[in-house]
Chain A
Amino acid sequence: MSDKAKTMIGLGITGTVIFLIVFFATGTIIEGKLGFFELTYAAILLFLVGGSTLVFVQRNKDLKKGVAIEDELSKKVFRKAGSQAYFASVWIAVGLLWYNGFITDNSTLKALSMAQTLGLMIILPGAIFIGLAFIYSKKGEVE
């Protein structure tokens, strides 16, 4: 697949997700139901818009310069960061299951709501992925 096609597919998928989230968010705002769910959507939306804009601008610059949009190092960095973020996300989910299912049943702590649980399950691994990708890119070597 050519670099241009990859960029366009990435842009298309991100655009579709953003469109769907905006579609649901405007519906709930019109209906006057702006709750934690909608705010979580808004946080994910901001995250997606910010991240995809940065990636798109960078890739567009690279395409114009004729540089390969995904070099070997960035491939390795994203793979390693993605792999570690995946295992972290499983442990985060296990921790949340324990917290909501066992700790709150046997203590005075308050259980997390649905939106809080899902929000944490998406945002925390996302943040870990970005952090690790940043650290590995700075280090410049991934094995």
Chain B
Amino acid sequence: MKNRNKILLAGAITVLVVASLLLFASTLLAKGKIQEIILPGGILLIVVMFMIPFIKRRILDVKKGYPYEDERSKKIITLASARAFTLSIWWLLALMWYADFAQESSWPELIPRHVAAAGIVGMAALFALSYLYTSWRGEVE
């Protein structure tokens, strides 16, 4: 795929995700479920915070004539996401344990849409940590 098309695809996906979350949040707002906006709002902020600088840097790199993604950054993303996958399974098991525990105690209970949103936020945070760790260690072989 051409570099320009890759940037357009990344931009289109970001716009789609942001539009979905905005639509979701506005539906909740219209129904007066203000507390439930916190989670989609959190995801929206994370997406905007990470994706805008990411796409901006890629556009500048391509304009300067650099490749969209070099071999090393590809390997870092692959290793970071593989690590994040293992950690995500543990995160989801912890959420499952918490959901069960909260039903039997006085801790705040989760509803299914909270679980999905907490899952996404946790997975995104784990990927960010894993990416930072893998970049810092520098060993991708």
Contact = CB atoms under 8 A, between A and B. Distances in A.
B116 A80 contact: no
Interface string B58-97: 0000000000000000000111011111101100110111
A53 interface: no
B85 A98 contact: no
B112 A93 contact: no
Contacts of A40: 96
Contacts of A118: 92, 95-96, 99, 115, 119
A105 B33 CA distance: 13
Give the dominant DSSP class at A's interface. helix
B77 A83 contact: yes
Q: Report the interface size class on chain A.
A: 35 or more
Interface in B91-119: 92-93, 95-97, 99-100, 110-113, 115-117, 119
A117 B127 contact: no
A128 B27 CA distance: 32
A40 B100 CA distance: 12
Interface string A109-125: 00111111110011001
Given A80-B78, A93-B120, A121-B119, A86 B88 contact: yes
A101 interface: yes
Contacts, number: 107
B99 A122 contact: no
Interface core residue of B17, B24, B96 (most chain A CB under 10 Å) = B96
A112 B79 CA distance: 33
Contact of B112 (A44, A102, A114): A114
A101 B113 contact: yes
A100 interface: yes
Contacts of B79: 79, 83
B115 A117 contact: yes
Contacts of A98: 20, 24
A30 B110 CA distance: 25
A129 B85 contact: yes
Interface of A: 17, 24, 37, 40-41, 44, 78-83, 85-87, 89-90, 93-94, 96-98, 100-102, 105, 111-118, 121-122, 125-126, 129
Interface of B: 17, 20, 23-24, 27-28, 31, 40, 77-79, 81-86, 88-89, 92-93, 95-97, 99-100, 110-113, 115-117, 119-120, 123-124, 127
